[in-house]
A and B are shown apart, each in its own frame.
Chain A
Amino acid sequence: MVEINPLIILIAAVFTNNMLLSNFLGMCSFIAISNEIKTSLYLGQAVTFVLTCTTALNYVVYYYILVPLGLEYLKFIIFILVIAAFVQLAEMLIERYMTPLYYSLGIFLPLITVNCAILGASLFMIIRKYGLLQSIMFGLGSGIGWTLAIVAMAGIRQNLKHAPIPKGLEDIGITVITIGIMAMAFLGFSGIVSIQ
């Protein structure tokens, strides 16, 4: 286990080691959904919730079940199963007990299973040897960072609608380049904290 204050991990995951801008994770749904601020905020919340819970769950599964049994190589299959099962369960619970939330969040939940940021956070947690609290903070921070990036992007894209953009660069091309500029802007935070 590495000795880093969990709070530092949280801040680093939001700003300096942003899941999307420095690790390229969660790009597919990012590009598809970031058209509207409101929807991207909902998606961001759903991702943050699932990320935090699944990193904790996967931590327990990995260190208390897979490692004692010597089955570390199965981690890919087990992690993806845990994530899929958790998303399914969360979907049912939210539908049953929080119906209004379900209607705003519900359609995004199945999408999240294949969001690489979720699986990526679990894999990073193992590679960087985080403890339980550190993992939870890492998951939470990654989710918040991802939300921050997607909401900012949605805001920019709404304004881009009225901009004259060269033909071939429209839509996806300009989005990718904007993400590049955002990644450079986030470099400004790099002095605050650093992990890894």
Chain B
Amino acid sequence: MIRIKKTLHNSTLKNNPVLRQILGICSALAVTNLMMNSLIMGLGVIFVTGLSELTVSMLRKHTDKHIRMMVQVLIIAWYVIIVDILLKLYLPEISKALGPYVGLIITNCIIMGRCEAFAQNNKPLDSLIDGIASGIGYTLVLLVIAFFRELLGFGTLFGYEVLGSWWTRWDLMKMPAGAFFMLGLLIWITRSLEARKE
């Protein structure tokens, strides 16, 4: 139990994949204009990371060293297809808004990175938890960026109006540049906090 808690803490906060390791920001930024999109994308990534790590870990003794990258990519792609089909079926609107970025979960470096760094050498249960934790860490960052972008850019949160018509919408936040600035600021803040702690 303690071990599980430690893995959770390490992978979500201490080694946050986006902020600490700068992995997976390709897809992290594109979907952060609205909180709903980010949440769904995050859930998709949690699902794919968790289950791919579980599968990779279960197969780790049966896969040859030379083909393991290929096997990992195929496993990840398989779960991404499941996510894509589920989204198309139950949330067609959001599936359309996310567009190619669902498919791009495959090339999200977090998943490959964790499979290679953790699942290759650990037991299936630990790997599952590590995958879910990394996914949660990723989702948290997405949600924080999306919170500010949606609030300042549209005046809404999850589509509900929060700031009334008195609020001048920041068009910058709707544009890609806003996402880059938010991520830059977030990295700055976390790094400064850490430096102070040390």
Contact = CB atoms under 8 A, between A and B. Distances in A.
- A and B: real partners? yes
A28 B23 contact: yes
Contacts of B189: 168
A20 to B, nearest CB: 9
B35 to A, nearest CB: 17
Contacts of B70: 84
A92 to B, nearest CB: 16
Interface stretch (A46-54, A113-121, A130-138): A113-121
B181 A177 contact: yes
Contacts of A179: 180
B81 A74 contact: yes
Interface of A: 21-28, 31, 73-77, 79-80, 84, 114-116, 119-120, 123-124, 127, 166-169, 172-174, 176-177, 179-181, 183-184, 187
B25 A28 contact: yes
Nearest to B74: A77
Contact of B103 (A21, A76, A169, A183): A76
Main secondary structure of the interface of A (DSSP, over half): helix
Contact of B100 (A127, A166, A174): A127
B122 interface: no
Given A24-B25, A28-B26, A177-B181, 8 more contacts: A22-B176, A23-B30, A31-B25, A114-B112, A119-B107, A127-B99, A168-B187, A180-B180
B85 A183 contact: no
Contacts, number: 122
Interface residues of B, number: 46
24 contacts: A24-B27, A25-B30, A26-B26, A27-B26, A28-B22, A28-B24, A75-B103, A79-B103, A84-B73, A114-B109, A115-B107, A123-B100, A127-B99, A166-B188, A168-B194, A168-B195, A176-B180, A176-B183, A177-B180, A177-B181, A177-B184, A180-B180, A183-B175, A184-B177
B77 interface: yes
Contacts of A167: 191-192, 195
A168 B188 CA distance: 5
B104 interface: yes
A176 B187 contact: yes
Contacts of B27: 24, 116
Contact of B29 (A24, A74, A75, A80): A24
Counting chain A CB atoms within 10 Å of each CB, the highest count among B26, B99, B175 belongs to B26
Interface in B3-37: 22-30
Interface string B77-89: 1101100110000
Contacts of A127: 99-100
A76 B195 contact: no
B142 interface: no
A120 B104 contact: yes
A116 to B, nearest CB: 4
B179 interface: yes
Nearest to A185: B177
